[in-house]
A and B are shown apart, each in its own frame.
Chain A
């Protein structure tokens, strides 16, 4: 073996070690959460029916969740991107049309101008958007100690309960879990950090651990039409599922069509593979 080839061999071994070292660094990076969540707790794991490739919403759960939303959350939070008619649509709570009409009619909306040029109030129809509890952001802030209760239409997709590249790939972003965790996360004693947090409530599941919203749900706050016991956990779970539907109303259609597409593509890929193999059979390649 010449000195030159000896040297080359040495370089290659070193390089292999370097590559291995870089591989370890990479693996370490993958394991560590990409966005450190600080002191905030990772969301609680909730076993929702809409998880997984075949998971659908539970109608009963969505209907109970709607009840919690309309009786509790909706007192302060808006739901601007939903129409009442959505409540009757396939893949949602699927309330009967009559019931949706009745739900809408409980709210008044400004309409007009009429033939005389006057604006007038009328009961809401299924085609109307959800009526917001406050006419504008300023009014909402004024009634809530300066804090704006965010619109809930997309909250379940706009918040992450789980962090980390791999974790989110396996478990999803955990938006519904985040909402559940915050709603049920008021029980812990606040640590004494020597700071004055004013009217903020301690909630270790909320980013920063201090939240302007006081604990919203208490036992038996709503009386479920289906007789389910309204524990804090039950209501939190139901309303989290409802908000997931509100944020992603086409979830069921998406998974159903997705399954058909995937099956189709697997068959197509298989056929194309055999076509390709047959065509290439007589070519040395």
Chain B
């Protein structure tokens, strides 16, 4: 898929570099000429948006690190110093804090898009798995970062999540002491969390590079799920998708800016503006919104170890998704039953999010347990079965054919003309 380089130049210096390190040719073939299906919709713009999010978080984070002090007695105060005394420090910190949330909104949309259009299926299994690895590293980074301001929720969140490791049989207790660097969440914990919070984003850059590399081997999936058949199905990445991505990114930044400037604390917890106090436990200890569905799964199981296993399994199940799905048809566009189950899963995840924000008692516990059961039912039973019992709709022969049909449909107002089944 990745076209060979046809880079040409008359500039002797560039030529000199190119013959020794063909970096200009690589840029030309991978970032400019890269053949991309011509029918990608706006759900495909989130890949670029995510790269942007990572870059913003790293750049802003490095500046924040210049003013932050990772010490239990000074961390909270240094964040207030950033908010009050550093030039535009309030803006940097609000961008970084909101940026975490925006990053997760984008990554969840990106993942659901992958599920809807079957982007995880052969030959893109490894591309998908690298994506799951990115999600895991992102979650670790976000969790570590939330501890750094050393507010009440930082401290107690860290305590709850690290204590989960005590559920590990035999070595659990020792493991937690090792993680903490002491017998409680304290200064050594804060120091190592800071160190790792600075390290992991660069690990992310590495895995993102592999993710994009894998993408450039298989090429993009597309809304029809039908593989690229000929050159007519594709257009060059630049200027078509650079400009489409740029437009989508501007809209995304608009939403981002709205939260940074007008709702900067909406996505956080008020109690985190109170300095950490190991002697006072907050009434409700809840993680950031993007962890709530997983937190709901954890707490819906009244057994510590099994709860932890279920929580990790809820992510691991995504790793094996390419092999759980027995359907040969990629896109939900041609899978009428799968399409509905897809939306049920989305709703299930949102419900689990609300459950995660509430104490695991009474109705909330019950809803959480049903939601958790359904989550696993979706991946372990429904997805494998659907491929066997569902009759897919007729698919167009190619991307170009699909585009023609769709445009015809627009004019006639009727359904697209069904065409011959396509082998994918």
Contacts and interface: CB of A to CB of B under 8 A. Distances in A.
B92 to A, nearest CB: 12
A-side interface mostly: helix
Contacts of B239: 279
Contact of A250 (B83, B251, B253, B272): B83
A207 B280 CA distance: 15
Nearest to A151: B275
Interface stretch (B56-64, B101-109, B180-188, B340-348): B340-348
Contact of B336 (A12, A23, A249, A272): A12
B262 interface: yes
A283 B240 contact: yes
A16 interface: yes
Interface in A188-208: 207
Nearest to A25: B351
B263 interface: yes
Contact of B261 (A257, A266, A275): A257
A8 interface: yes
B340 A19 contact: yes
A269 B250 contact: yes
B130 interface: no
Given A8-B391, A26-B347, A276-B247, A258 B270 contact: no
Contacts of B274: 150, 154, 158
B351 A285 contact: no
B235 A283 contact: yes
A263 to B, nearest CB: 10
B266 interface: yes
A122 to B, nearest CB: 23
For the residues of B in contact with A, the DSSP-based class is helix
Interface size class of A (residues with CB under 8 A): 35 or more
Contacts of B347: 19, 22-23, 26
A35 interface: yes
A22 B348 contact: yes
B254 A266 contact: yes
B80 interface: yes
Interface stretch (A59-67, A168-176, A230-238): A168-176
A34 interface: yes
A254 B91 contact: yes
A23 B262 CA distance: 29
A141 to B, nearest CB: 12
Most chain B CB inside 10 Å of its own CB: which residue of A8, A175, A261:
A261
A212 interface: no
B284 A8 contact: no
A169 B263 contact: yes
B38 A285 contact: yes
Contact of B270 (A158, A266, A285): A158
A26 B351 contact: yes
A259 B250 CA distance: 16
Contact of B354 (A4, A8, A34, A173): A34
B261 to A, nearest CB: 3
A273 B263 contact: no
A44 interface: no
B260 interface: yes
B250 A173 contact: no
B303 interface: no
Sorted nearest first, the 6 A-B pairs with minimum C-beta distance are A258-B261, A158-B273, A272-B247, A269-B250, A15-B340, A154-B273
